[in-house]
Amino acid sequence: MKGVIFDIKEFTLHDGPGVRTTVFLKGCPLRCIWCHNPEGLSIKPQLMVKNNLCKGCGKCFMPCAHAECAPFKRCVHACPDGLVSISGQEMTAQDLVDKLNKTLDFNKAMGGGVTLSGGEPLFQPDFTLAVLTLLDCHKAIQTCGYADPSVFQKMVDAADYIMMDIKIADRELHKKYTGVYNDVILENLDYLRNSGKEYLIRTPMIKGITDTEDNLAGIAGLIGDSPWEKLPYNDMAGAKYKMLNMKYQLEDLQ
């Protein structure tokens, strides 16, 4: 079973209990205009270039024989300053777990484990479930909750801790700012709240969109007495869009 990841961060402290290793999977069904991990939206590997630091030497445009460079017609190994890279690496579930196991003893000793994030880990359901099954530690997932209920339920059942985003309460506004309606998200929220699993609801605080009194009151009504974290937004997120040659839509509203 293979999947595509774009980052692995060790010794994370805010992605679940204790000290953790967080794996970021590529692919997401939402298109939130504020997304702070745009390299996680597409499941396909993408070229990332730090153009603002480029000296224009042209070495990365010279022909090369690297198979991984061929799809981009640009050598990711030639830049003397390391400004060109590929976001997205295919791995088998077993290879990923073998890599994670190298630091798991420390994580376990510190009351932690592994967190699968994204992108959206449920966008690669078979791979995510395989990794959760193979891991022998405390397992957490970070999810937007937009997935077929049968998929969502399997992931909740396989994990120990679930962090689920509830971004916007209003159905039409959710569609406007994320690209999808929130019907299935709220259906999955009901399952999560009754699952008996430990969980946390999270809301990214986006000025004028998610942080409004109406939206926060609406979310409070949906989640009841669920634990709830309001996440500050990283204003530097827009820099990644330029590296990926993508449009940062939130910028138009600021």
Q: Which domains does the chain have, with CATH numbers?
A: 2-45+88-253 (3.20.20.70), 47-87 (no CATH)
Strands (E), the chain: 2-12, 20-25, 46-49, 84-87, 89-92, 113-118, 138-143, 161-165, 198-205, 228-232
Q: Is the pLDDT of residue 42 over 80?
A: yes
Closest CA to 183 of 194, 198, 168, 196: 168
pLDDT at site 251: 77
**pTM confidence score:** 0.94
CB 158 within 8 A of CB 136: no
Asked if residues 178 and 32 have their Cβ atoms less than 8 Å apart, the reply is: yes
Q: Where are the beta strands (DSSP E) in 144-219?
A: 161-165, 198-205
What percent of the chain has pLDDT above 90? 93
Question: Mean pLDDT across the chain, nearest whole number?
Answer: 95
pLDDT of 60 above 80: yes
Give the Cα separation of 155 and 121 in Å (integer). 9
pLDDT of the residue at 20: 97
Q: What is the pLDDT of residue 221?
A: 98
Q: How many residues are given for the chain?
A: 254
Band the pLDDT of 235: cuts 50, 70, 90: confident
- Among the residue ranges 46-55, 118-127, 131-140, 221-230, the one predicted with the least confidence is 46-55
Task: Look at residue 254 in the predicted model and tell me its pLDDT.
Answer: 56
Taking the C-alpha atoms of residue 29 and residue 135, their distance in angstroms, rounded to an integer, is 25
- Rounded Cα distance, 93 and 127, in Å: 6
* Type of residue numbered 56: G
CA-wise closest residue to 43 among 135, 138, 133, 119? 119
